[in-house]
Amino acid sequence: MKLKKWLGLGALIAVATLTLVACGSNSKSDAKTLKVGIMTKSETEEARWNKIQELLDKEGIKLEFTEFTDYSQPNKATAEGEVDINAFQHYNFLKNWNKENKEDLTAIADTYLAPIRLYPGQGVKKVEDIKDGAEIAIPNDPTNESRALYLLQAAGLIKLDVSGTELATVANIKENKKNLKITELEASQTARSLESVAAAVINNTFVTEAGIDPETALFIEPKDENSKQWFNIIVAKKDWKKSDKADAIEKLIKAYHTDEVKKVIEKSSKGMDQPVW
């Protein structure tokens, strides 16, 4: 009876030991797997993530993607630990989301800027061709209107009385030497306005839809302090460096910030996305 009892106890110890080993093994394996929250992948997103995964294969790191269709969900999933990081938004979006949801998610790496552009209307080939009193169309939603106005300022057409992370409106134009008429339109309509205005600021989505060649742009949104709020970023929890995924996350950032990925971004987006690291 005693022998059977000790054999039974030994079996239990063996099972417990195997269980602990298995748990340890899974934990180590999990530390090499990163769950990434993104919006539905475009062709250019697919291309850059494929290259990043290729580089991370050498480190034994596996990326698992969760694709969302609602912009409010990736941050929520990150805050709740359903994904380790996300990559879909710019600084301005994160700032507003944190404020509205009382969270403290943090940007851990810059990735790229999808700059908006000023496109020429009839008879205009360069910014200097825009005459006094000419009309320029810009998107009328708060975010894109602000970006458009900062773009016009960078192009030397107007001056604003705000800067940095503040959203600008036409009321913030403090200098307009050419007396330009700034017309606010639905973002989807600015491309159509090119037949009747001197120039228009057009969102990249509608540039593609309208079949406009991005290389015809008069001026491109520069990478500076005024546009930094529109830099796309990788986001994680504030204490991400204390997690068992910290090493894998740091290696992902290093892989993202390589010349190989830079070339893929520029080629696959046809120059519409510009790396900013």
* Per-residue confidence band for 26, with pLDDT thresholds at 50, 70 and 90: very low
Dihedral sign of CA atoms 76, 82, 88, 94 in order? positive
Task: Tell me the average pLDDT of the chain.
Answer: 90
The pLDDT tens digits for 179-226 are: 999 999 999 999 999 999 999 999 988 998 889 999 999 999 999 988
265, part of any domain = yes
Q: Which amino acid is at 109?
A: A
pLDDT above 90 coverage of the chain, percent: 80
Non-local CB neighbours of 167 within 8 Å, separated by 6+ positions: 142, 143, 146
Q: 241 or 24, which is more confident?
A: 241
Predicted pLDDT of residue 122: 87
Predicted pLDDT of residue 228: 93
| Separation in Å, CA 224 to CA 88, 165, 227 | 20, 11, 5
211, part of any domain = yes
Residues 151 and 217 both lie in one domain: yes
* Per-residue confidence band for 59, with pLDDT thresholds at 50, 70 and 90: very high
14, part of any domain = no
11, part of any domain = no
| Separation in Å, CA 222 to CA 32, 217, 233 | 37, 13, 17
What CATH code is carried by the domain that includes residue 212?
A: 3.40.190.10
20, part of any domain = no
Predicted pLDDT of residue 175: 98
**Residue 38 tokens, joined:** 């993104």
18, part of any domain = no
Cα separation of 167 and 266, whole Å? 28
Residue 237 has what DSSP assignment? Answer: -
Residues 108 and 200 both lie in one domain: no
Angle, in degrees to the nearest 10, between helices 259-268 and 43-57: 160
Predicted pLDDT of residue 9: 47
242, burial (CB in 10 Å: exposed 0-12, middle 13-18, buried 19+): exposed
The boundaries of the domain holding residue 221 are 117-226
15, part of any domain = no
Predicted pLDDT of residue 19: 44
The pLDDT tens digits for 127-167 are: 999 999 999 999 999 999 999 999 999 999 999 999 878 89
Non-local CB neighbours of 172 within 8 Å, separated by 6+ positions: 149, 160, 161, 162
Task: Report the SS3 class of residue 200.
Answer: strand
What does the angle CA 140 – CA 228 – CA 210 come to, to the nearest 5 degrees?
A: 45
Q: Which residue has the tokens 């879909």?
A: 88
* Per-residue confidence band for 45, with pLDDT thresholds at 50, 70 and 90: very high
Domain count within the chain: 2
**Residue 46 tokens, joined:** 């697919």
- 8 has a pLDDT exceeding 70: no
Residues facing residue 66 across a β-bridge: 37
**Residue 247 tokens, joined:** 């090493």
- 4 has a pLDDT exceeding 50: no
Residues 99 and 135 both lie in one domain: no
Cα separation of 221 and 272, whole Å? 11
pTM strictly above 0.75: yes
Cα separation of 46 and 77, whole Å? 21
